[in-house]
Amino acid sequence: MKTRLLWPSVFLLMIFLIGGCAGISADSTADITAKYYVFPFRNPSYQHRDFSGVGMRFTNAFAAACAQHSLDVTVVTDDQFDSSKNTNVQDALTYATDTGADYIIYGYVTKWVDKPTLLTSERDFAGLSIFVRSVESGEVVFS
């Protein structure tokens, strides 16, 4: 009996957490005069299977959401950086320094659940880890 109640409770808790955390909030500490470079988010993988294209989809969606908050955001499309591998932070900082960015943003799709949306109208689920680094200091200023 406890198991029957436990799973729906955990599921509802996760829905509330996701609903409460879904979205992008640009508070007053965000520097709207700064230039942000968004590097491709790493694709998720599960049991040695790479979900190609997912990381770039989230990269573009994230950049578009940031742009709606008047941030100067550019998605980096250089061949050196792609979503099939982790972003090399030193290379990204060097690239950003050479091209005049103030901050770099990179991340990982940590979880991807592809649900049968056509039949059930359920939404896919994703978990993201995002990091913002100052190009000047190299320090993480937000994660």
Return all residues near 45 (Cβ < 8 A) that are at least 6 apart: 51
Q: Using CA atoms of 13, 15, 20, 22 in order, give the dihedral in degrees to the nearest 10.
A: 150
Q: What is the pLDDT of residue 43?
A: 84
CB-based contact 95:87 (threshold 8 Å): no
- Whether the per-residue pLDDT at 89 is higher than 50: the answer is yes
53: left (phi over 0), alpha (psi -120 to 50) or beta: left
Tokens of 20: 């409460």
Report, as an integer, the average pLDDT of 102-124.
78
- Residue 6, pLDDT above cutoff 70: no
- Span 17-26, pLDDT tens digits: 444 444 444 4
Q: Tell the burial category of 126 from Cβ atoms under 10 Å away from its Cβ (0-12, 13-18, 19+).
A: buried
**Cα angle value 96/101/103 (rounded, 5°):** 90
| pLDDT given for residue 8 in this prediction | 44
Predicted confidence band of residue 117 (pLDDT cuts 50, 70, 90): low
Domains and CATH numbers, the chain: 32-142 (3.40.50.10610)
pLDDT in tens, 11-46: 433 444 444 444 444 444 667 889 999 999 998 877
Q: pTM score > 0.85 for this model?
A: no
Please give the Cα distance from 90 to 10 (Å, whole number): 40
Confidence of residue 49 (pLDDT cuts 50, 70, 90): confident
Would you say residue 74 has pLDDT above 90?
Answer: yes
Whole-number pLDDT of residue 29: 62
Paired sense of beta strands 140-142 and 125-134, if any: antiparallel
Q: How crowded is residue 24: how many other Cβ atoms within 10 Å of its Cβ?
A: 13
Q: d(Cα 36, Cα 74) in Å, to the nearest integer? A: 6
CB atoms within 10 A of CB 81: 18
* Lowest mean pLDDT segment, chosen from 20-29, 48-57, 103-112: 20-29
